Structure 1
Amino acid sequence: MVDKYGRNINYVRISLTDKCNLRCIYCMPSDIEFEKNYINDVLSLNDYKFIIKGMSELGINKVRFTGGEPLLYPNLVDLIRYTYEECRIDDIGITTNGIRLHEMAYELYQNGLKSVNISMDSLKEYKYKSITRGGDLKDVLKSIHKCLSLGIKVKINCVVIKGFNDDELLDFMLMTKFYPIDVRFIELMPLGEASKVYKKGYFNIGQMIDSIDELYKVSSNKKSAAQYYKYDGAKGRVGVITPMSCSFCSECNRIRVTANGNIKLCLHSKEEIDIKYYLNKPLIFREIMKEMILEKPEKHYLNENRFSDTNRRMYQIGG
């Protein structure tokens, strides 16, 4: 699918639930509660399969499952298997906090999972527990090692917050010297809960990276929101995602499906398109999707007004 600005849209991020087992301070309010058995009361497993099949027929060849926390979704293995075997999509990933991943990684890998983006904002146990409001860093580290042992590509996503973890960035970067992982630093964005800490917590990552002489810029043969750097002889890479100080909109190749059945053409736009009416109507669905893609915005305006106009919090969109 090609939008009116000539961008090939071949990547979809699919939120399976807005429920999470953590309460990260920049993502989810501490007082949000979900019913015990709640996962998703809008889209069924068959609905997700229909969406993925339809999009694959339109040229989507990369799928990332997100949340909330996608590992809470009971049919995740089935959905990954379907995406890989029935839709012939080989590039399948998940974005996860990693808490339960070490228990599930092998089965997910056996059914087609190729990559994981793991959110981890501190290498210190007390800090990690603080920012996640109760998470155990040991579980995340265990998951990283398990994925590496299986050959699953690992990316660590670290949201940088001034005064909280900006003193740990070098430690994160040094991990790439010894492990075949990508550590990606993400600028804090004034979106949802993060808007409460944005003014005091914003840290210009690009300036920090440019000041480190040992790092050199590397090119990638894949479109990515990240600019990558590397140490000489390192096994992994250091990535920087800077939507605030440097927009990557001209290279954007993705759309999002929310857990309540809406399409978001841009993360930072409040505009969403409800696709539930078109589910299980293959011909109409394909034509509607083509029309939607043509309306994908050229860019967001975070650089100009510094605040996202989306009505959603991050956990309702997916990372």
Structure 2
Amino acid sequence: MLVDKFGRVIDYLRISVTQLCNFKCRYCMPEDGEFNNIGRSNILSYEEMFDFVKICLDNGVKKIRLTGGEPLVRRDIEKFVKMINDYKPDLDLAMTTNGYYLKQKAKVLRESGLKRLNISLDTLDEKKANFIARKDVLNQVLDGINEAVKEGFGIKLNSVVLKGINDNEIIDLLEFARSKNAQIRYIEFMENTHASSDLKGLRKDDILDILSKKYSIKEITKSPNSPSSLFETSDGYKFGIIDPHKHDFCASCNRLRLSADGLLIPCLYYEDGKSIKEAMRSGDYDKAKQILKDVLEAKPEKNKWENDGKGEISSRAFYQTGG
């Protein structure tokens, strides 16, 4: 079992399999920004990642989520899914994706052992989607969602709520998610130095105020390690709001993050991390285990959105750590 110095059991590993993405979303990358291409030789192979995954699984990790960048831009991602699932078939194995390639990939991912999908859907308006992603994406994403529903995935839809952009779609997005038997999770905009400077987000109370114009809503008990507050409408539909600015957001954090180039990171919004790349490439698994122990020891008590978002802003891009 992995336990940090604050007594939190760490049983969840998020793996960014690539920093690359086929979108350039305004809340992730500035208009003139370019991805930091770290080169193929610096990226861990699936085999190197899997050797570290086995160490984690053997020490109590019960959940793995594959992220990016956009994980589906990495070739043969389904082979990595199968490697993990074959080693531990009862694992909670999930992926976060923008959905663009899901129409082509959903079936093979399901057959390889992927169980759940979180799919980004910030708007149902084609022009707004183009504005946010800086690319014509909505129809492909909707096709991907439909294919994922067809294949029987457990699905959550993630929507970053932006003032003056998609805040008038909050109810429409909930109703769309419910029509797909999916849970919607509204995400407060997370300040970072890579986002467009003119973006402003809505907070949890603002989102609830808008939804309350149509629905009677009550807060319900969430899963102990979930990052989202959970709510239920009077007709039984459950939805979440991820609100990292609140002070208890980190109290039950159970995650570590592995970047595509082998940096093991204790927190999304934290500058420090230690690389396992050399250890994995040399087959020095004892060293990798020590690095895991060191990073666990360095896991901070709180993220850096403290003081209502006026705390320190991280310079590490979300596409490097998987959001």
TM-score by length of 1: 0.91
2:77 corresponds to 1:76: yes
Cα distance in 2 for residues equivalent to 1:193 and 1:72: 21
User: Are 2:159 and 2:184, in contact at CA under 8 Å, matched by a contact in 1?
Assistant: yes
Q: Which residue of 1 aligns with 2:320?
A: 316
Are the counterparts in 2 of residues 52 and 87 from structure 1 also a CA contact under 8 Å? no
Structure 2 Cα separation of the partners of residues 40 and 193 of structure 1:
25
Cα 1:22–1:177, aligned 2, differ >3 Å: closer, same or farther?
closer
Amino acid at match of 1:45: Y
Aligned 8 A contact 1:63 1:91 in 2: yes
TM-fit CA distance, 1:34: 6.5
Please state how far the C-alpha of 1:286 moved relative to its aligned partner: 2.1
1:205 aligned to 2:167?
Answer: no
Q: Secondary structure of 1:268's partner? A: coil
Structure 2 residue aligned with 1:294: 297
- Partner residue in 1 for 2:287: 284
User: Which residue of structure 1 lines up, in the alignment, with residue 130 of structure 2?
Assistant: 129
Cα drift, residue 93 of structure 1: 1.0
State percent identity of aligned pairs. 32
Unaligned runs of 5+ in 1: none
Deviation per residue, 1:271-311 (Å, 9 max, x gap): 12122232122233223312321221111231226244433
When the two chains are superposed, the root-mean-square deviation of aligned CA atoms in Å is 2.3
What is the CA distance between 1:40 and its match in structure 2?
A: 6.7
CA contact (8 A) 1:17 1:40 kept: no
Task: Report what 2:227 is aligned to.
Answer: 225
- Between 300-309 and 84-93, the greater mean CA deviation after superposition: 300-309
CA contact (8 A) 1:191 1:308 kept: no
Pairwise CA distance, 1:27 = 0.8
Q: Distance in 2 between matches of 1:222 and 1:18?
A: 30
Distance in structure 2 (CA, Å) of the matches to 1:169 and 1:261: 37
CA contact (8 A) 2:273 2:295 kept: no
Residues 99 and 135 in structure 1, CA contact (< 8 A), matched pair in contact too: no
Go from structure 1 to structure 2 and tell me whether the alpha carbon gap of 1:144 and 1:246 turns closer, same or farther (over 3 Å shift).
Answer: farther
**How far does the alpha carbon of each residue in 1:57-97 deviate from its partner, in whole angstroms, 9 at most, with x for none?**
11111111111110011131111001111244521111111
Q: Deviations over 1:88-107 (max 9, x none)?
A: 45211111110011110000
* 1:171-210 alignment, distance < 5 Å: 171-194=172-195, 196-198=197-199, 201-209=200-208
Separation in structure 2 between the aligned mates of residue 185 and residue 39 of structure 1, nearest angstrom = 34
Distance 1:40 1:104, change over 3 A: farther
Counterpart amino acid of residue 285 in structure 1: A
Partner deviation per Cα, 1:12-55 (whole Å, 9 max, x = no partner):
1101111111111111233445799x667421122111111111
